[in-house]
Structure 1
Amino acid sequence: MVKQYDTHSGIISWFARNSVAANLLMIFIIVAGFIGLSHLRQQVFPDIVINSVSIQVPYPGAAPQEVEEGIVILIEENIKDIEGIKKVTSTASEGMGSINIEIEDNYEVSEVMDEIKVRVDAIPNLPDLAERPVIYENRMQRQVMRLNVFGDANERTLKEYAKDIKDELLALPNVSLVEVEGARPYEVGIQVSDYQLRKYGLTLQDVANAVRSHSLDLPSGTIKTLGGDILVRTKNQAYDAYDFAKIPVITRPDGTTLLLADIAAIDDGFAEWNFLSRFDGKPTVSLRVRSSLESDDLLIAEQIYDYLDKKTPTLPAGISIEAWGDGTYYLKGRLEMMQKNMLAGIILVFIVLALFLRFKLAFWVMIGIPLCFLGAFALMYMYPGFAMTINMITLFGFILVLGIVVDDAIIIAESAWASIEEKGHSIDSVVEGAKRVALPATFGVLTTIAAFYPMLAISGPWSNAMASMGLVVMFCLMFSLIESKIILPAHLAHMKLNKLEDTKSPKLRAVKGFFRAIRLKVKDLLSRFINNVYKPKLETFLNYRGLTILTFVCLLFITTIGFIGSGWVKTSLFPNIPNDGVFVEIKMAEGATADQAMSNVQIVWDKLNELHNEVEAEHGIGVFQHAFMWTRENTGAYMWTELVKSENLPINQFDLIDRWRDKVGTLPAVEEISFGGGGGGPGGDGVGYRLVGTDIEELQIVTEKIRAKLAEYDGVYDISDNLSGGKEEIVVEVKPHGYNLGLSTQILSQQVRNAFYGSEAQRFLRDNEEVKVFVRYPLEDRRSIGNLEQMPIRTPSGEYVTFTDVANYDVQEGFSRISRIDGVRANRISADVSPQAAITSGEIHQDMMQNVIPGILAQHPTVKLEPGGPSEDQQKLTKELGIGGLIALILIYGLMAIPLKSYIKPVVVMSAIPFGIIGAMVGHLLLDINLSMFSFFGIIALSGVVVNDSLLMVDFIGRARAEGMSRIEAAINAGTRRFRAIILTSLTTFFGLLPITTETSLQAQLVIPMAVSLAFGIVFATVITLIWVPCLYVTLGSIKDWFLGRDAKSLSKKEEAYENN
């Protein structure tokens, strides 16, 4: 017996009969959506969760090993037992100790930081020359863009212009974070020769003390007069070379004075760093514009460009300012891409619907897309968990859901239209059609929502980002339920279905007639296909269902093993996606000079220009727009290149890097050079390992062995580690003769430090910038080891002796930096993997972990492998996605068991999920795309869609069984009745995503794997739903009958009836 539906009760009926309420609800969603959209901030990437605290301790002039022993180890020991600390990672570099403390997720960062401050402040024996520790919570600050002031001007001029521009930028309403980079700090250098010191019986410390005593502003109290209080203060701070020159060093009894200018050369300039900074080949100072948590990146960028339009004409000739590295370009591009592809998708979906249904029906179905998006905007604004924004990740979510958000509306509309075709257009027929599929359709959407649970299960810094994407999809699907069950039936019930002959305009009647003829032709073709092709074939498949099921299972096995196991479809969890930048890092070898570092980065720049000219001659357009390069002492040099936008770049970015690398070749005095291009997810597409051990020599040996093995893989390049050598170190020791003269290690080291590093006399504030004052030897007396050997040392008795008479020294190899993890020395080895290589980073990591690293570590038991690096990030994310996926499957099973009222039927529905993945893999194979994390997100969406269609198929089979049909008859009946709806949902999903899959812009590269998984997977899943599900349903029913020892033909209707109560 066919179930009769009460068309006069329930929420669907009430809204269908009260169109005003439905329209008001729609208007409310639209208004709420626009309000939410207007208040949502726009940023390039979502706010990243950083549960960590950093400690910075400057130790000027100290070698990395001194910093490690005097700063890092002391702090590590004092904080190691604080509750809530997850991991402590430390770095000792020249003049700086840095400790990063990761906090457990279930602890408040502020509370742990307070305890860390108490412990660090209580350390009594930090070195006297170390500065006060700076402790702060790490917060996300996104880079919006860079500005470079450059031209044919000196460093001071460029820096002053940059500082003025910084102040003017900070005065803009939305700009709050601007940093000046690529400029040395101001410094007053007072250089006194040994000759002058001995001539007047002075030491460098005496000169520094004279500066401190005379250059100062000092509050001197208050005079309390009858007329009120008068403040008294001494104002004698020196601010420039002229002021310092007048400072008296010696005042004689006869009243004459020895001024600083009489014995010293005073340089009011910059810190003595070996430094080079160039932008497009010219001297430069850079400004980095960042955005805070509450900032809108697009507003910041807009205001900066308006400012530059006004500022640029006021700059003097020879000085320019250029904005580059604009991250909002990609955000704007993705917004435009979403709008363009959404419009294209809507048009294609509308055309598909119009071919099968009437124009007005298709129109009201399409209204659901913008309505669901606006509803999602409203919920994003109100979401209490964290501040959601419009960013590239949430836009991924909108693009992903574009093809599936109308599925529920299509199911309702198609069922309502079938009812209208059968019984005529009325409110009752629309309500009956909607109610017929409302329950399974609702649970189908809920299963799709559950399928996105894994995105909410990811932990770590990217948790908010992945959760944002999942929440956007869930919000859209939630509103699709409201729109399809409440608003859509009301519109369908009250739409006017005018007859063709009622159209008065002949031209309009002709157009309508043309499209009607097409629709009827399509309807006829579809009907003939169902009756003449699908129905007979389905009967055959059902009669040979055992063979059919075996064939599908073999296909699944062969596809999985063949595509992934054989390497036909490669897997790379975080793929290398081309971007618009290339970062070059040059690590200089031990003993290299600053001049060599500067020369090498100049060679890299020249080769880039050479490549640019070659490509321009070949294709009419070059490869780069801007290049910013700088050096750091003699240890390294760097270059950040902004390429021509990807849509205009004439050659692939990775080919460009290969050609550039080949042109640069081997550089003198260089230990490593790496060219970084492309971007992936957390960790990037590469391999990395962290080694820990107490024996530094063993660490070095293991490092070299792992590096050598990595170099044997084809496609692996830019292998690096952070245990390489740095500057040479001279270790000084007092001789016994020195001790006899009253010298101590402290006295000797202090005199050597004052001479070569300098004695810091004072610090003062000038134009809002701290300026240090140093007293030291002239530069020509500090250039060689010979200067140290001949340096006069003053004994406590006032006599002078030569350094070599009272001290020994040893030249040793030093480190540029020393890394530590949880109190043990560590080293991080990393390597990039070419996206064009025959082997993926995951395969390399697996081979290294199974066949290489265990053997190496067995030979060096003091060294251990510490979890971390890109490979570990990938494994952790894979594990979390796996656990989240298992939970999602359990939720999906439960959500299907409820409407189906069965333990077995949900298995039939869920069995279609693996087969949908076959289509996703075929799509990746055809388009030559690696399976990535974003592909898996598309497969998650695919699982929800497949389940949705299969659930309705099983539901309709159950209804047919309730009417007294046999299982085979019920399967054939449900297949033919659901054919149009399944085809419609599949075609609309496919064509809705088709524009994305054909995109060539950079903004689309991360989205394409998601779209390919869903678009191609749904095509294959359609076949699965129409053939596999009926066959499996009948087979499992037959097995159940056999197990219970009964004949299916003898079962009563009551026993087999589909329960709807």
Structure 2
Amino acid sequence: MESEINKSPKASAFTLIVAFVCVALVGLALVPLLPVKLNPSRTLPGFTVRFSMPGTSARVVEMTATSKLEAMLARVKGIRGIYSTSGNGWGSISVNLDKHVDAAVARFEASTIIRQTWPELPDGVSYPYIQMQSPGQGSQSPFMTFTINAPATPVLIQRYAEEHIKTRLAQLSGIYKINLSGATPMEWRLEYDSEQLRTLGISTDDIREAVRLHYQKEFMGTYDVEQGASDRQWIRLALVPESESRDFDAGRIQVKMKDGRMIGLNELVKVSRVEEQPQSYYRINGLNSVYLSVVAEETANQLALSKEVKAYMDGIRSQLPAGYEIHTGYDATEFIREELNRIYLRTGVTVAILLLFVLLITFSPEYLFLIVVSLSVNIAIAVIFYYAFGLEMQLYSLAGITVSLNLVIDNTIVMSDHYLRCGNRKVFMSVLAATLTTIGALVIIFFLDEKIRLNLQDFAAVVIINLGVSLLVALFFVPSLIDKIGLERRKRISPSKPKLKL
């Protein structure tokens, strides 16, 4: 192999230079297509079970509901860890699964367990719902949030945002989901006559079971049986997922009486659509407020998407009714830009210092030009592999680019200096061995614990790609560029052959 390396390549130096430059231009064209975000989006497979228990202390929620659900969910196969949190009026259980577990199967097992455990939970606990997360999927956390203020009720503000703001933003490419919160949701109220139910032998549990079987969704909703001030009783029913266009037709639901006959639910209850009792209020400067959060797609460039969203919101602000205001509450891209500016500054200073030393040692602008061009071509070509392997440009991968720059420059300097002095590529085997040693050390990251690996794999992949590309650049591009711009210098500094004295 050494003899093959020492031989001049069949292609001319000019051809190789043009080929590398063309490939580098392709890499530069792919830069805007790279997904840029704050943190890695890949997570371990798992799910979260949430429920509410209004008016109950955290201790009671833990003892009567959270602990029971947690013990039952521990039966799901492939669990790596289970964590629970109980608060005043709510509870949450997070389950981390092994990477080899089928998320769909785990969700089915969890749904079955919740359905079996539901009758044992105390009254007042909402039906627990499951939120899944799987590897390679976005974290579902919003990268931008906005506050909408107006001298109107939260329901009216949210309805206006749904019709005039959310629909326009949803047209942007790269947006995964838009959430609106802060307004009191609507619910179905089923008022009934307790004496009539007692006569027919029907309980509120029978009504709940009939509704559940009709919709065939174990996470259909929640219900409470309450005593009103006017001695009227009702069932509070919240369908999940809720939709304004979704109707609740009681006439299509059949309830079984004690004698075995069926009766329509509309003959037992009076259905009304009402606003849920508020659990909290949001006010800014004395005005009611709702929050609009924007979730980006996993492959979206959040920096570019943020500019588009802001431009859309500026256009919407000019068309708002009197008294309506929109304010930016959170923008993750601001932190991304700050980090990018820091990385640009650190990288620029590091490279500038290194190049300054090179210039002071060699006193050759041509040699400095060689290092700069080789480094630029190396990073541009590496972008193609970033895009091909689906790497994300986030804090860890950007740090990997910064770290690998010095290693890439080292390979370029070693090869160029040897080629200038000796006129061959024999040093490539030494460069290859040193580079493979570094790559071998980084490969260990892919064998670490899954949770750690998901954060560091992009860092390792970026460094490995940059080093791999630097080998090709050092072997073909650097000598070809030297042949074009440093031929005379190479001859001048080449060691002369010793002369024999007779």
Band the TM-score falls in, shorter-chain normalisation: 0.7 to 0.9
1:129, distance to aligned residue in structure 2 (A): 4.8
* Structure 1 residue 277 corresponds to structure 2 residue 278: no
Structure 2 contact 189–272 (Cα < 8 Å) conserved:
no
**1:423 counterpart residue number:** none
Question: 1:125: Cα distance to partner?
Answer: 2.9
Q: Decide whether the 8 Å contact of 2:374 with 2:412 is kept in 1.
A: yes
Report the alpha carbon displacement of residue 179 of structure 1 after superposing the two structures with TM. Answer: 2.0
Cα deviations by residue, 1:176-218 (Å, 9 ceiling, x for unpaired) = 3222233333469999xxxxxxxxxxx7497346999xx9645
Which residue, out of 71, 76, 79, partners 2:73?
Answer: 79
**Aligned counterpart, 1:173:** 173
Equivalent in 132, 141, 144 of residue 137 of structure 1: 132
CA distance 1:363–1:469, shift in 2 (3 Å): same
Q: Distance in 1 between matches of 2:346 and 2:58?
A: 54
Task: Quote the offset at 1:315 in angstroms.
Answer: 1.8
What is the distance in 2 between the residues matched to 1:116 and 1:188? Answer: 27
Specify the SS of the correspondent of 2:300: coil
Partner of residue 420 from structure 2, selected from 413, 417, 442: 417
Q: Specify whether residues 27 and 320 from structure 1 end up closer, same or farther in structure 2 by C-alpha distance, changes over 3 A only.
A: same
Instruction: Report what 1:324 is aligned to.
Output: 329
Alignment-mate amino acid for residue 444 of structure 1: A
Task: Say whether residues 1:393 and 2:396 are aligned partners.
Answer: yes
- Structure 2 residue 331 is matched with structure 1 residue 306: no
Judging changes above 3 Å, is the alpha-carbon distance between structure 1 residues 348 and 68 closer, same or farther for their aligned structure 2 residues?
closer
Matches for 1:866-877 after TM superposition, within 5 Å = none
Instruction: Indicate if the aligned counterparts of 1:59 and 1:67 stay in contact, CA closer than 8 A.
Output: yes
Radius of gyration: which is bigger? 1
2:370 aligned with 1:364, yes or no?
A: yes
The answer to whether the 8 A contact 1:16-1:490 is kept is no
| In the alignment, structure 1 residue 438 sits paired with structure 2 residue 428 | yes
1:311 partner letter: I
Distance 2:10 2:485 in 1: 11
Q: Does 1:407 align with 2:402?
A: no
Residues 32 and 154 from structure 1, CA distance in 2 versus in 1: closer, same or farther, beyond 3 angstroms?
A: same
Alpha-carbon spacing, 1:117–1:21, altered in 2? closer, same or farther (3 Å)? farther
Alpha carbons of 1:334 and 1:29: their partners in 2 closer, same or farther (altered >3 Å)?
farther
1:408, CA displacement in angstroms? 0.9
- Summarize the Cα distance change of 1:493–1:282 in structure 2 as closer, same or farther, 3 Å threshold: same
Displacement after TM superposition at 1:291 (Å): 2.1
Amino acid at match of 2:143: V
Conserved? CA contact 2:35–2:298, under 8 Å: no
The aligned amino acid for 1:37 is V
How many pairs are equivalent? 427
Whether 2:440 is the aligned partner of 1:450: answer yes
Instruction: Give the conservation status (yes or no) of the 8 Å contact 2:147–2:289.
Output: yes
| Matching residue of 1:23 | 17
Task: Output one character per residue of 1:209-252: Cα deviation in whole Å (capped at 9) or x when no partner.
Answer: 6999xx9645579xxxxxxxxxxxx9x98767xxxxxxxxxxxx
- Amino acid corresponding to residue 411 of structure 1 in structure 2: V
Give the drift of 1:468: 0.8
**So what's the TM-score if we normalise by structure 2?**
0.72
Task: Give the deviation of 1:410 after TM superposition.
Answer: 0.5
Bigger Cα displacement from structure 2, 363-372 vs 340-349: 340-349
Q: Spell out the pairing of 1:212-223 with structure 2 (5 A cutoff).
A: 217-218=249-250
C-alpha displacement of 1:148: 0.8
Mapped partners of 1:98, 1:360: distance in 2: 64
Partners of 2:235 and 2:359 lie apart in 1 by 91
How much has 1:83 moved relative to structure 2? Answer: 2.8
Which of 463, 473, 477 is the equivalent residue of 2:453? 463
Alpha-carbon spacing, 1:465–1:90, altered in 2? closer, same or farther (3 Å): closer
2:115 to 110, 117, 121: 121
Q: 2:103 pairs with 109, 114, 119, which one?
A: 109
Change (3 A) 1:155 1:482: same
**Counterpart for residue 204 of structure 2:** none
Secondary structure, counterpart of 1:15 in structure 2: coil
Letter in 2 for 1:110: A
Q: Secondary structure at the match of 1:177?
A: strand
SS at 1:89 equivalent:
strand
- Residues 378 and 146 of structure 1: is their aligned pair in 2 closer, same or farther, counting only changes over 3 Å? same
Matched, 1:492 2:450: no
- Map of 1:228-377 to 2, 5 A cutoff? 271-273=277-279, 275-279=280-284, 283-339=288-344, 342=347, 345-357=350-362, 358-377=364-383
CA contact (8 A) 2:404 2:466 kept: yes
Flag the 1:60–1:126 CA change in 2: closer, same or farther, 3 A.
Answer: farther
Residues 348 and 280 (structure 1), Cα distance of their counterparts in 2 relative to 1, 3 Å cut: farther
User: Which amino acid in 2 is paired with 1:404?
Assistant: L
**Match for 1:39: what amino acid?**
L
Deviation at 1:310, TM superposition (A): 0.7
Q: Would the alpha carbon gap of residues 118 and 190 (structure 1) be closer, same or farther in structure 2, given more than 3 Å must change?
A: closer
CA contact (8 A) 2:66 2:91 kept: yes
Q: CA deviation at 1:361?
A: 2.6
The structure-2 alpha-carbon separation of the partners of 1:341 and 1:237, relative to structure 1 and needing over 3 Å to count, comes to: farther
Per-residue deviation, residues 67-110 of structure 1 (Å, max 9, x unmatched)? 44543343334333433112222233344332221223443333
Please say if residues 48 and 461 of structure 1, whose CA atoms lie closer than 8 Å, have aligned partners that are also in contact: no
Distance 1:111 1:187 in 2: 31
- Residue in structure 1 matched with residue 35 of structure 2 by the alignment: 41
Matched AA of 1:491: L
2:46 is aligned to 52
1:325 is paired with a residue of what secondary structure? strand
TM-score by length of 1: 0.36
| Cα distance change, pair 93–281 in 1 and its aligned pair in 2 (3 A) | same
Report the CA distance shift for 1:27/1:104 in structure 2 as closer, same or farther (over 3 A). Answer: same
Cα gap change, 1:338/1:77 in structure 2, threshold over 3 Å: closer, same or farther?
A: closer
Alignment of 1:934-945 (within 5 A): none
Q: Alpha-carbon deviations, 1:768-811, whole Å to 9, x = none?
A: xxxxxxxxxxxxxxxxxxxxxxxxxxxxxxxxxxxxxxxxxxxx
For the Cα contact (< 8 Å) 2:148–2:326, is it kept in 1? yes
How far apart are residue 20 of structure 1 and its match?
A: 4.7
Using the alignment, how far apart are the partners of 1:324 and 1:312 within structure 2?
Answer: 15
CA distance in 1, matches of 2:452, 2:167: 33
- State whether residues 28 and 380 of structure 2, in contact with CA within 8 Å, keep that contact through their aligned partners in structure 1: yes
User: How far off its partner does 1:312 sit?
Assistant: 0.8
The verdict on how the C-alpha distance between 1:345 and 1:220 changes in structure 2, with shifts beyond 3 A counting, is: closer
CA gap of 1:183–1:462, structure 2 versus 1, over 3 A, is: farther
Distance 1:479 1:394, change over 3 A: same
Distance change in 2, residues 1:443/1:353 (3 Å): same
Query: How far did residue 306 of structure 1 move?
Result: 1.2
Determine if contact 1:346/1:366 at 8 Å carries over to the other structure: no
Question: Structure 1 stretch 81-90 or stretch 128-137: which is displaced more?
Answer: 128-137
SS of the aligned residue for 1:14 comes to: coil
What is the DSSP-based 3-state SS (H/G/I as helix, E as strand, rest coil) of the residue aligned with 1:470? Answer: helix
Deviations 1:790-847 (A, max 9, x none): xxxxxxxxxxxxxxxxxxxxxxxxxxxxxxxxxxxxxxxxxxxxxxxxxxxxxxxxxx
In structure 2, relative to structure 1, the CA distance for the partners of 1:82 and 1:17 (3 Å cut) is closer
Q: Shift of the alpha carbon at 1:352?
A: 3.1
Structure of greater relative contact order (alpha carbons < 8 Å, 6+ residues apart):
2
Alignment partners' CA distance in 1, 2:7 and 2:301: 44
- The aligned residue for residue 259 of structure 2 is none
Residue 282 of structure 2 aligns with an amino acid whose one-letter code is S
- Partner Cα separation in structure 1 for residue 234 and residue 289 of structure 2: 36
Write the distance in 1 (CA, Å) between the matches of 2:377 and 2:327: 41
Task: Indicate how the Cα distance of structure 1 residues 72 and 336 shifts in structure 2: closer, same or farther if over 3 A, else same.
Answer: closer
Instruction: Note if contact 2:374-2:473 (Cα within 8 Å) is conserved in structure 1.
Output: yes
Does the aligned pair in 1 maintain the 2:190–2:235 contact within 8 Å? Answer: no
CA contact (8 A) 2:189 2:235 kept: no
What 5-or-longer segments of structure 2 have no aligned partner?
A: 192-226, 238-246, 254-265, 494-502
Three-state SS of the structure 1 residue aligned to 2:178 is strand
Partner of 1:688: none
Distance 1:80 1:351, change over 3 A: closer
